[in-house]
Structure 1
Amino acid sequence: MEHKLVSIREKIDQFPMKDVFNMDETELFYRLQADHSLAIKQLEGRKQDKERLTVVICCNEDGSEKIPLWIIGKYAKPRCFKNVNMNSLDCQYRANKKAWMTSVLFDEYVRSFDQMMHGRRVLLVVDNCPAHPRNIEGLRNVELFFLPPNMTSKIQPCDAGIIRAFKMHYHIRFYRKILEGYEVGQTDPGKINVLDAINLAIPAWTMDVRKETIANCFRHCKIRSASDVVGNLDESTFDEETQDLQTMINQCGYRNKMDIDNLMNYPGENEACSEVQSLEDIVRTIIENNAEDDDKDDTVSLEPVTRKEALMASNTLHNFMIQYKNTTPQLLDAIRKESSIRQRGQIFKSKESISLFGRL
């Protein structure tokens, strides 16, 4: 292993930290609840823990850039996407029947990443998965670097804790949504749809996963030879997030709750989520994506919201926040800024509101 690390470091050292990226995909059981009884007892309507998406994670070595998520689902046109402006979401959605990364999607991802890196020379480190083809021609800005087989669990930064951090924050937001659902009287708030999962995943990645966590995971893998960046992963890196997640789970009042390790290493979620497609598979996928999804998609479409309803809701939020005991002047200032933005016909688009409201 050591001699392979030498060649890896020689390559990594040719690029500054901000220009070394690692990309990996992971399965996400987006409805998974930390209750053993939900997973063991085959209760009607309670098999939601096996619903999954594949999430593609990519970031650079110093943590300064987190590439927008790619999310792969089973349905090309879920009902919950109706009336939704998909361009407003800070992610890309793709679909195939297994919700897996495929060689075709990997090719598309890398070409999209190459365009995003316009004018730069960057290194994209990926694992040696068969669904990651090597012969992608025409890349102008990106050099692909494939890690040796059977080493990715030890030297790939995404596997060293970045994906775990993302899932930790996703679950925190998921359980918060469950608690809020019970508060407003929902009968089964844990049965979220793909759009709900996307709206939880995006801030979990863009807002919650810290720059320091990413940098620590890269350092832990020791894929750069410089002595000042070599070190071990601080065990306290996830302590705060673990405590937050444990608090959320405790508040849900599960009868047979899982511990955090079982939840984060749930059987099946960390298995292979990619495949190499034959020409027949590719054609079949194209046909399926152009066709209407079948009735297995049990979600409902999002009800259209008028501008009047949005303005009324915004005023209600303002009135709530000036009564809320934990409201800060900074948060109230962000709401007031939104008032002037709304007068120009834009609602909740400022960076201040996205950042502050995401922490509530």
Structure 2
Amino acid sequence: MYPELEDVLFIWFHEKREHGAIISDEILIEKAKYFGTMLNISNFKYSDGWINKFKKRYNISSYKLHGEAGSVDQNEINSERLKLQNELKEFNLDDIYNLDETALFFKMEPNKTLSDKKESDKKIDKTRITVALCCNASGRDKIKPLVIGRFKNPRCFKNFNPEPVVSYFNNSIAWMTASIFSSWCETFNNNIKFKNEKRKVVLLVDNASGHKPVVLSNVIIKFLPPNTTSCLQPLDAGIINSFKAQYRKGLVKSFIESLDDFNELKTPDLKDAIYLINRAWKSVTVSTIKKCWNKCNILEQLVLDDLEDDKFLKELDEFLLKLKIKYDKCDMSAEEYLNLESLEVTSEELSDEEIVKILLFKLNLILKKIK
């Protein structure tokens, strides 16, 4: 038996599942062989029997995709919810914030046929960026969107400064990283401190690998438990969906206008998308935000004066129908168009080398304690 091999394999498995990957037994065995080579393990049989025992030892059979409803036992959800209620009761609604990010195919047409084909004369444009949104529980404060692109100064940015519209960052894969998260948190903290030096707020974030602890003077970062975001994170409870519906409504509207004006469908560049993102976020209502915090039930229920129905899906459907009249390749429903990025990764992952280093570091600590 090689416990160090199983430990590193489980760390890798957990990391991938946190990013929404589906891992089969065959993939586990191949990755185990890879880590076995890195750990200088030889003459070991990577059998189906061994992988089944490994899964049983680490209770892997109970795991589901990151953020999926039902990933955690309902009793555990209720327990974590009560803990949050207790921890947050000392803060007023204006001082409780939630930050979460989502992938966004900012140019993509509502064309299911193209997106499903492996090869096509015209490839669907899946140029992606990451958008992070943050708001407080009262709905009174929607922080300027954070946008992560691939390039520092794309061609469309000529004489354009995105900072008044969004907080813009970049890296080669357009993901949330620990450095971007830290930088954003420090700016958020400074803005809180500038308005009131004595004000303390709490920022709820999920346990994505790009979110790292940051010590701040006026902001307490509270990490939500693993695999609970669909139940306990307000932005996951409908706020991001509302934002995306508003964004895609604006995108479809721009498609219709380009067909009317130029008789062809023109897609936006990143500069255009940034303005669409800003307008979409402004269009998310206070009522929607409050209802999503209510739905999570992690603080005292909010009393709403106007419980309006969310109409974003209906409105998006109406715009798609208008587009379909002019552009017959439009064949997605509002719900399909809204969930294009559901399996996209938005946060950095640990490399294989980093996983092995973590394991070796833990083993060294254990050896020191034994000595």
Alignment TM-score, normalising by the size of structure 2:
0.68
Aligned-pair distance for 1:37? 2.0
What's 1:127 paired with? 206
What's 1:274 paired with? 347
What does residue range 127-166 of structure 1 map to in structure 2 within 5 Å? Answer: 127-134=206-213, 136-137=214-215, 139-166=216-243
Counterparts of 1:124 and 1:65, CA distance in 2: 13
Pick from 166, 177, 183: which aligns with 1:108?
183
Counterparts of 1:194 and 1:277, CA distance in 2: 28
Q: Tell me, what secondary structure is at the counterpart of 2:107?
A: coil
What's 2:292 paired with? 217
After superposition, the C-alpha distances for 1:262-310 in whole angstroms (9 at most, x for unaligned) are: 22222x44433101578x99xxxxxxxxxxxxxxxxxxxxxxxxxxxxx
After superposition, the C-alpha distances for 1:124-156 in whole angstroms (9 at most, x for unaligned) are: 01111121112x23x111011111111111110
Shifted more, 29-38 versus 62-71: the winner is 29-38
Name the amino acid aligned to 2:339. Answer: N
- Asked whether 1:75 is paired with 2:154, we answer no
Counterparts of 1:92 and 1:38, CA distance in 2: 32
The answer on whether the counterparts of 1:36 and 1:257 sit within 8 Å (CA) in structure 2 is: yes
- Asked whether 1:94 is paired with 2:165, we answer no
What's 1:173 paired with? 250
- Asked whether 1:259 is paired with 2:333, we answer yes
The answer on whether the counterparts of 1:103 and 1:277 sit within 8 Å (CA) in structure 2 is: no
Counterparts of 1:28 and 1:250, CA distance in 2: 22
Looking at CA atoms only, which structure, 1 or 2, has the larger radius of gyration?
2
User: How many percent of aligned residue pairs carry the same amino acid?
Assistant: 32
After superposition, the C-alpha distances for 1:36-61 in whole angstroms (9 at most, x for unaligned) are: 1231344445321x111100100000
User: Structure 1 residues 44 and 269, CA, compared in 2 at 3 Å: closer, same or farther?
Assistant: farther
Counterparts of 1:265 and 1:106, CA distance in 2: 24
Counterparts of 2:207 and 2:297, CA distance in 1: 19
Counterparts of 1:86 and 1:202, CA distance in 2: 10
Q: Tell me, what secondary structure is at the counterpart of 2:262?
A: coil
Aligned-pair distance for 1:162? 0.4
Counterparts of 2:330 and 2:253, CA distance in 1: 19
What does residue range 310-325 of structure 1 map to in structure 2 within 5 Å? Answer: none
Counterparts of 1:171 and 1:186, CA distance in 2: 20
The answer on whether the counterparts of 2:105 and 2:127 sit within 8 Å (CA) in structure 1 is: yes
User: Structure 1 residues 86 and 258, CA, compared in 2 at 3 Å: closer, same or farther?
Assistant: closer
Pick from 80, 97, 100: which aligns with 1:24?
100
Aligned-pair distance for 1:186? 5.2
**Root-mean-square deviation over aligned CA pairs:** 2.2
Runs of 4+ in 1 over 6 A off after TM superposition: none
Q: Tell me, what secondary structure is at the counterpart of 1:101?
A: coil
Counterparts of 1:67 and 1:53, CA distance in 2: 18
- Asked whether 1:194 is paired with 2:238, we answer no
User: Structure 1 residues 270 and 17, CA, compared in 2 at 3 Å: closer, same or farther?
Assistant: farther
What's 1:346 paired with? none
Aligned-pair distance for 1:252? 1.1
